[in-house]
A and B are shown apart, each in its own frame.
Chain A
Amino acid sequence: MHTVIESLQQFLQYTGFANMTWQHVIMIAIGVAFITVAIKKDWEPLLLVPIGFGMIIGNIPFTEGLQIGIYEQGSVMNILYQGVQKGWYPPLIFLGIGAMTDFSSLISQPRLLLIGAAAQIGIFGAYVVALHLGFTPAESGAIGIIGGADGPTAIFLSSKLAPHLMGAIAVSAYSYMALVPVIQRPIMLLMTTRKERLIRMKTPRPVSQKEKIIFPIVGFILTALIVPSGMPLLGMLFFGNLLKESGVTKRLAETARGPLIDVVTILIGVTVGCSTQADVFLTTTSVKIFALGLMSFIIATICGVGFAKIMNLFCKEGNKINPLIGNAGVSAVPDAARVSQNVGREFDPSNHLLMHAMAPNVAGVIGSAVAAGILLSFLG
């Protein structure tokens, strides 16, 4: 009888209940909140549901040594986490993004590329502030990239520059991407006049198949020659687009934008969520990262909208840009473009800005990958 009680006591010591701390409870609550928001509000459900559930998995306390934790070498979760840690998943996600994105709007209005460039200033604004808050340059670069509003890019860069902050950076990036409508709308309204919001942009010209095929090849060669360190992301993005547009690799394009990106999204979401173990995640550093990430997003939006207004000073009447599409320069495809469309329609229900906003939106993807490449070459 005594042995049975002893065994039971020993077993109880191994249970999660016995090892649970208040930090674990908080992280599990955050995970549940992510899932709730994703289901109830439909905010980035494809990302927030896996991340939220991953948070719950990662914060079930256990006794170390059983090779089950994400940070225990050789465990299943650790093997899956290698894709995040070594940066394999982000280029695969970019392949899928390239294969599902239509760049026609950008090809027909290349001037809108510049809005995508301006929105990247948010990354470097946060970089400077992070430096002054005591982060190292490498950590600051990894934190700043949150302003690129691109989850895979944030994971790619933080895995190289600051792996110890990756959980907080990734969760912050994906959270703010989900909150794009909430963060950007007031800034857009604050920065534009009613007259500007009513600007109707010229219908983009139709783009030929030949142009669509040339786009990824020229785009990759030029950007990779300027920033070779951004090659894994840029290469896969443009390659995915070539698969889509070539017209002869439909099966490959369908795999890239379908099953492949779905599998990688599940793995990246769960493992990133899992990596937010209370002891690593629940620190004042994470709070600072969240604050800096928000600041980065705000600066990026201000710069995007502001630059569209500056461009208007040089545009002829009839060729003006509606500055409401400036927010889309922060990437976050296609949510940021949808925000432009929705805010635009609030003031003129017949003014559809989505097509135009997609141009700075995809330019933002290219711009954030270029920015990540630059930071990597300076600090990596």
Chain B
Amino acid sequence: MNTFMLLQVSENVVRKSAEMAARDPHGVIITVVSVAVVFTALVVLYFAYTFVGKAVNGKFDWKSLACRFKRKAAKGAPSEEEAAAIALALDQELNGETYAAIGLALHQYLNDTVHDNESYIITIKRK
């Protein structure tokens, strides 16, 4: 049995190699693409493990994530004028101050201005 028959490259490899030699004779394209893919794969793993690590150890801030979603949802809330128009419409229709208050409350709630934002910094002043 001829040694070189056993060491033959498959036809597919020969074809692809020839195509690559014609398309990318200096190897720059394959280098750039391959390095980018290797980095992408490991960067994806980096984010995945960072997230898993935080999630498993209870350090992931689910609240802030929920807040972000809330804020996103709030973006679709009516503007100040719209809220005022709603309140006016309600007032005209039912003629009650209560409904104006509901409109204002809705506006404030959707813009997340109902609650005060605390600094969470406690300072003790010595007398």
Contacts and interface: CB of A to CB of B under 8 A. Distances in A.
A165 to B, nearest CB: 9
Contacts of B21: 136-137
Question: Which of A131, A132, A375 has the most chain B CB atoms inside 10 A of its CB?
Answer: A131
Interface string B28-59: 10110111011111111110111011001100
A320 B41 CA distance: 24
Given A222-B48, A379-B16, A371 B31 contact: no
A218 B31 contact: no
A111 B12 CA distance: 38
Contact of B37 (A128, A166, A211, A374): A374
A108 B46 CA distance: 11
Interface string B1-29: 11110111110111011101100111110
B45 A222 contact: yes
A110 B49 CA distance: 6
A137 B27 contact: yes
A168 to B, nearest CB: 12
Interface in B70-100: none
Given A131-B27, A379-B16, A73 B41 contact: no
A161 B44 contact: no
A374 B20 contact: no
A226 B47 CA distance: 15
Contacts of B4: 164
Categorize the interface residue count of chain B.
35 or more
Contact of B42 (A73, A210, A370): A370
A339 B88 CA distance: 76
Question: Which of A113, A366, A379 has the most chain B CB atoms inside 10 A of its CB?
Answer: A113
A127 B42 contact: no
Given A128-B28, A222-B48, A380-B16, A211 B56 contact: yes
28 contacts: A73-B6, A85-B6, A107-B53, A113-B46, A117-B42, A117-B43, A124-B27, A125-B31, A128-B27, A136-B18, A137-B16, A138-B16, A160-B10, A164-B4, A208-B57, A211-B53, A214-B56, A215-B52, A218-B48, A222-B44, A222-B45, A223-B45, A277-B3, A366-B41, A371-B34, A371-B38, A380-B12, A380-B13
Interface residues of A, number: 59
Interface string B110-122: 0000000000000
Given A279-B3, A374-B37, A379-B16, A137 B30 contact: yes
Contacts of B20: 137-138, 378-379
Contacts of A280: 3, 7
Nearest to B39: A117
Contacts of A366: 41-42, 45
Nearest to B1: A73
Given A71-B6, A137-B30, A367 B42 contact: yes
A49 to B, nearest CB: 25
Interface string A348-379: 00000000000000010011001100110011
